[in-house]
Structure formats: structure tokens, C-alpha cells
């Protein structure tokens, strides 16, 4: 359980007394992941892991986009996560599996990008280890890794929809940045739930607009008449998973960036992962 009074005190001590109550209320727990190189035969079927070959049901068809198979990123055993001490909106069982375009061609700017990533929730029973489609290039066959977890606490970035309404002064911006440096706001890594550690700014509005057909690759997207109504619903998006660049599985997103998988709160409550939206950010 989050000790918000303790967080409030830290914010006050950091010089952020005016907004301490608001920011403390925004803190969210997360689960962080660390990778250890391994071999697939050392990882039990159905266990959490990154890279290697996915564990899938018998009738599984390897996902494709633009006539190419997607790369397997990783799978999370939700029953193991449920034993964690944080309160999670995720199902208490099942295997949550992530795939992304083997050529990294999409960034989540456009509705046409949908399908270049997939998220599946498989039942834990009757899983078997899949084989790679022959057409996946070697560089997109990520190396298997065992993963360990620990609990973390996250705070929204200063550019997000959560912080903007607080109208931080220039001094408060600097103090919040310094606070984040000590509390891990700028720490990247693999993360389930919580607030993302952004590389290029907030993503909720991007998810809401792009998933509803606004082409964010068009510099005139602001003039789209649908934007104001869509913008009002951007806060419904919440982080599902953040994959950092990592030498252990052998992936890098853009220039040392991150992949962020987002889901609406209603879809998360319904355990519906078909409409997850992905954003790639890098330096």
C-alpha cells in the first residue's frame, strides 16, 4: 500500500508544499523487471521471460503485419505477479504476451500502425513452446532472458496531463525535476503499470488521437476538427507495459528508446487487450 502521507512529506521537504497533496495523490505503484541472459530450455513453459520463443496455445497463429511476422518481446505470468504486494488491476492468472514489428517500422503515430504490435492474454493451461516462422530475421529473434521483479513507485512526468493542471512555476518545475531524480521519476527500465518514464513527453493524448484516426505524422493534425472532443478523453489511457532498450535480449528501440504499451482503463477492467496502443520514443 502506498504511504501517501510519507510521499507528501517528501514533497514538502523538496520545496513543493503548494502541490504536495496533489502530486502525492498521483503516485502509482509499478512492478519493475530486470533481465538475466538464459536459455529457453532453462525457463519453464508458462514462466515470465523476455525474448526466446513464446509459450502459446495449440491453436495459436503467429501474428503478422504487412506480410511479415512480428517479433516476440516477452511474456508475463500474471499468477506470479498476483503474489506481489501491489494492488493490480490485471487478471490474477494467465500469460500476458507482447509482440512488435520485426523491422521496428512503426511508432504509433497513425491508425495504420495498428496491427504492428499485438498483446495476448493466454490461459496458463495447455501451453506449448512455439517455433519461429522461417521468415523472421535473426536480428529480430531476441535472446531469452529470465526476469526478476521488484516493486516501484512512479510519479507523472512534468509534461503529462496530470501535472499540467497544477500550473507549476519555473522554480517548481526545477524542484519537481530534482525530486524525480531522487525518487526515480527519470529512471528508465522495464516496467508493468504505473506512470511511464517518458523519453519525449506525455503519450496519453497521442494514444487517444492516433487510435481514433488522427494522423500525428501530419504537421497540421491540430486543425483536425475531431481533436477537441478526443482530447477530453485522453486521460482514460494508462500504461500497461514499458520495454526499455536492453542488451540482454538484444533489442534497441530507435536510439536507446523505449516501447510503451498503453490501454484504456475500461479495456483493462474488461481484460480486453485487442485495442492496446503502442508508442515508441527515443532520444
Q: What is the DSSP track for 67-122?
A: TEEEEEEEEEEHHHHHTSSS--SS-SSSEEEEEEETT----S-SGGGTTSEEEEEE
What is the rounded distance in angstroms from the CA atom of residue 118 to the CA atom of residue 259? 13
| pLDDT at position 258 | 96
Query: Does this model's pTM top 0.85?
Result: yes
pLDDT tens digits for range 59-109:
999 999 999 999 999 999 999 988 876 778 999 999 999 999 999 999 999
Number of helices (H), then strands (E), belonging to the chain: the values are 7, 13
Q: Among 112-116, 181-185, 226-230, which is the least confidently predicted range? A: 181-185
Average pLDDT over residues 258-278: 97
- Which domains are assigned to the chain? 4-281 (2.30.320.10)
The rounded mean pLDDT for the chain is 92
pLDDT tens digits for range 2-29:
678 889 999 999 999 999 999 999 999 9
What is the rounded distance in angstroms from the CA atom of residue 163 to the CA atom of residue 166? 5
pLDDT of 186 over the 80 cut = no
Q: Provide, rounded to the nearest whole percent, the portion of the chain with pLDDT above 70.
A: 97
| pLDDT at position 152 | 86
pLDDT of 188 over the 70 cut = no
What is the rounded distance in angstroms from the CA atom of residue 207 to the CA atom of residue 261? 10
| pLDDT at position 125 | 86
| pLDDT at position 187 | 59
| pLDDT at position 34 | 95
HSE-up (13 A, CA, CB side) for residue 9: 4
Amino acid at each position: 500500500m502506498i504511504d501517501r502521507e510519507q510521499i507528501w512529506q517528501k514533497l514538502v521537504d523538496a520545496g513543493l508544499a503548494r502541490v504536495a497533496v496533489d502530486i502525492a495523490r498521483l503516485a502509482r505503484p509499478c512492478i519493475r523487471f530486470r533481465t538475466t541472459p538464459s536459455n529457453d530450455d532453462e525457463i519453464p513453459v508458462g514462466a515470465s521471460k523476455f525474448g526466446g520463443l513464446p509459450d502459446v496455445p495449440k491453436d495459436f497463429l503467429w501474428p503478422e503485419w504487412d506480410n511479415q511476422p512480428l517479433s516476440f518481446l516477452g511474456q508475463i505470468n500474471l499468477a506470479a505477479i498476483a503474489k506481489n504486494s501491489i494492488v493490480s488491476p490485471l487478471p490474477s492468472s494467465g500469460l500476458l504476451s507482447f509482440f512488435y514489428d520485426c523491422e521496428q517500422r512503426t511508432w504509433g503515430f497513425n491508425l495504420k500502425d495498428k496491427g504492428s504490435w499485438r498483446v495476448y492474454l493466454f490461459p496458463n493451461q495447455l501451453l506449448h513452446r512455439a517455433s519461429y516462422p522461417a521468415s523472421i530475421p535473426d536480428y529480430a529473434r531476441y535472446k531469452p532472458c529470465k526476469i526478476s521483479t521488484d516493486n516501484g513507485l512512479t510519479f507523472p512526468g512534468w509534461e503529462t496531463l496530470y501535472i499540467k493542471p497544477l500550473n507549476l512555476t519555473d522554480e517548481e518545475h526545477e524542484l519537481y525535476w530534482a525530486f524525480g531524480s531522487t525518487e526515480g521519476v527519470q529512471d528508465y527500465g522495464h516496467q508493468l503499470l504505473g506512470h511511464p518514464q517518458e523519453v519525449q513527453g506525455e503519450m496519453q493524448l497521442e494514444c487517444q488521437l492516433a487510435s481514433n484516426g488522427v494522423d500525428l505524422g501530419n504537421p497540421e493534425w491540430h486543425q483536425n476538427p475531431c481533436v477537441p472532443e478526443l482530447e477530453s478523453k485522453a486521460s482514460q489511457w494508462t500504461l500497461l507495459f514499458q520495454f526499455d532498450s536492453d542488451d540482454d535480449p538484444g533489442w534497441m528501440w530507435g536510439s536507446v528508446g523505449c516501447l510503451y504499451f498503453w490501454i484504456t482503463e475500461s479495456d483493462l477492467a474488461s481484460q480486453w487487450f485487442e485495442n492496446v496502443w503502442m508508442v515508441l520514443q527515443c532520444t
